[in-house]
Amino acid sequence: MADQPLLGVRPGAAIDREVTQLALLARPAYVGAAWLFAILIPVQFFLAGTGMFSTTGFSPHMYLGLGLHGISGALIAFALIGRLPRRALEYGVLQFILIGLQVVLVRVGSPSSTIAIEPQFVSSVITAIMQPIHDVLHGNSGLVASLHAVNALAISAVAVLAVLYARKLR
């Protein structure tokens, strides 16, 4: 008798309630993450410029890029947890893929360039993959790597679309 739930209460009701509350929190979290991503895009362009035209180097640009990749992952998680419409998930996935492509484009131009926090085995594997591609392209690897800037514009466009869509979710 002690093992039976109270009358009218299902054993999983508390879990269902927690899942529902989490799903409700995911919607505003998605909206906030979409806005944060879009706000950080001009900062990322600025950091790219300072890397090019000052002595600061590209480290701040690379680290913010990693942060943006994390935010795009969060958009995916929030869309799934919140059971948001498919379009919300698509924007997160597209941003995640485009930012991953950014890294590939840089590595095609300079296969040995690494990020300070990158484990050595990761650097070695990436260099082993990207060096042959770089070698096949001969002197044209810089042209391929230059698509990094064009891809950044695509990331910006998707960020704006994600914010416009997120505004409808409120």
User: In which band, very low, low, confident or very high, does the pLDDT at 11 lie, cut at 50, 70 and 90?
Assistant: low
pLDDT greater than 90 at residue 18:
no
In contact, 115 and 62? CB cutoff 8 Å: yes
Mean of per-residue pLDDT scores for the chain: 89
User: In which band, very low, low, confident or very high, does the pLDDT at 3 lie, cut at 50, 70 and 90?
Assistant: low
The C-alpha atoms of residue 169 and residue 34 are separated, in whole angstroms, by: 11
Average pLDDT over residues 38-48: 98
Q: What's the pLDDT at 13?
A: 56
Average pLDDT over residues 69-95: 97
Q: What's the pLDDT at 12?
A: 56
Q: What's the pLDDT at 19?
A: 65
> Which residue from 149, 69, 158 is spatially nearest to 106, judged by alpha carbons?
149
User: In which band, very low, low, confident or very high, does the pLDDT at 10 lie, cut at 50, 70 and 90?
Assistant: low
Quick count: other Cβ atoms within 10 Å of Cβ 151?
16
Average pLDDT over residues 154-158: 98
The count of C-alpha atoms lying within 13 angstroms of the C-alpha of 83, restricted to the half-sphere facing its C-beta, is 6
The answer for residues whose C-beta is within 8 angstroms of residue 119's C-beta and 6 or more apart is none
DSSP 3-state percent helix, strand, coil across the chain (nearest 5): 80, 0, 20
pLDDT greater than 50 at residue 6:
no
Instruction: Enter the tokens of residue 109.
Output: 């131009």
User: In which band, very low, low, confident or very high, does the pLDDT at 68 lie, cut at 50, 70 and 90?
Assistant: very high
User: Could you tell me the residue ranges of all domains in the chain?
Assistant: 14-110+142-169
